[in-house]
Amino acid sequence: MKKVLKQIGKAIAYFAVYFTVSNVVTLIVSMVLGYVRGREYGAAGLSAEEGLALVQSEMNSLTGICLLVSAILALITYAVIEKVKKSNLAKETDMKKVSGKQLILTVTGALGAMFFMNFMLSILPIPEDLTGNLENGMQTLTSYPFWQAILANAIFVPIIEEVVFRGYIFNRLEKAMPSIVAALISSAAFGIAHGGLVWAVWAFALGMIICVVRIKSGSIIPGIIFHIIMNTYAMVVSYFPVLDKLTKGGMIALTVIGGLMMAAYIAGILTDKENGKEKAEVKILSSKA
């Protein structure tokens, strides 16, 4: 029990670093912007409510920058922490090389997940009050320039989230409990961190899928690639709604195709014996040592 609590404590501590850095950056930017614009709007004779609305609108346009800076600062903070511990970020989060087969499977799975998970949201009879929360979230994501969305949401956010949730959190929990339990807990935390019921369920499902390849490959690299492809797709179709003209039949067809690609991905990962051989070799070498 002591071991379990110790690893859970470490997982919480690493998450706290990510949470703190993310919120501190947003807080500092909002405070500075509020002070500067408050003086300007006050001098212009605007009411407090009008000034607040303008500041909030400007903050929305800076969300991409805040996300980007937060992700980079969090990565730097983790690197410094590991340096102090005389370790390194790649080692502590299992940022290891994987086989070409696993990379191909990852790309296949991510492309399939793009269609399956996203179109399922359009096909399923989800109540409007829940989908409204999802739509509001997507509107917030598109309130800043596209280049910010790609750099922040499609590249750096997936990297830091995989480092935190499948790297630090999953790694620590797996040392004290079965892998499936660690996957469930880390994926639940991943879902909750995204807020809103639909967002949370979507992120939980994505987290569990990535945990499968995380467990089988022993690395977070495939998960990072998977996450980047998924988020890039989400950003592109949000800013350029080229799929809005699809008929329901077309959506169903792409959902089925995506589901089959995801099934092939998971089946390929589960039956991949290359990583198992590597683990066996490591154990033999360690026992000889």
What are all long-range contacts of 254-259, with beta carbons under 8 Å and residues at least 24 apart?
A: 254/115, 254/119, 255/115, 255/116, 255/119, 255/120, 255/123, 257/112, 257/115, 258/111, 258/112, 258/113, 258/114, 258/115, 258/116, 258/117, 258/119, 259/112, 259/116
Q: Is 25 a residue whose pLDDT tops 50?
A: yes
Please write the tens of the pLDDT for every residue from 244-282: 677 778 778 888 888 888 888 878 877 776 554 444 343
Under the banding of pLDDT at 50, 70 and 90, the label for residue 52 is: confident
Token reading at 262: 């995801």
Q: When comparing pLDDT for 275 and 72, which is higher?
A: 72
pTM (2 d.p.): 0.84
What angle is formed at CA 59 by the lines to CA 53 and CA 64, rounded to 5 degrees? Answer: 150
Token reading at 172: 């620590």
Tell me how far apart the alpha carbons of residues 287 and 281 are, in angstroms, rounded to a whole number. 10
Question: So what's the pLDDT on residue 127?
Answer: 62
- The answer to the question of residue 287 being in a domain is no
Question: What does pLDDT average to over the chain?
Answer: 82
Task: Say what percent of the chain tops pLDDT 90.
Answer: 33
- The answer to the question of residue 251 being in a domain is yes
Token reading at 252: 């169903």
Structural domain boundaries enclosing 159: 2-280
Q: When comparing pLDDT for 271 and 153, which is higher?
A: 153
**33-42, 120-129, 239-248, 266-275: which range is least confident on average?**
120-129
- The answer to the question of residue 285 being in a domain is no
Give me Rg for the CA atoms of the chain. Answer: 21
Token reading at 253: 């067809």
- The answer to the question of residue 272 being in a domain is yes
Q: Three-state SS string across 222-282, please? A: HHHHHHHHHHHHHHHHHHCCCCCCCCHHHHHHHHHHHHHHHHHHHHHHHCCCHHHHHHHHH
- The answer to the question of residue 286 being in a domain is no
- The answer to the question of residue 189 being in a domain is yes
- The answer to the question of residue 289 being in a domain is no
Q: What 8-state DSSP symbol labels residue 218?
A: S
Under the banding of pLDDT at 50, 70 and 90, the label for residue 139 is: low
* Across 5-13, average pLDDT: 89
Residue 196: which region, alpha, beta or left (left: phi > 0; alpha: psi -120 to 50)? left
Domain count for the chain? 1
- The answer to the question of residue 288 being in a domain is no
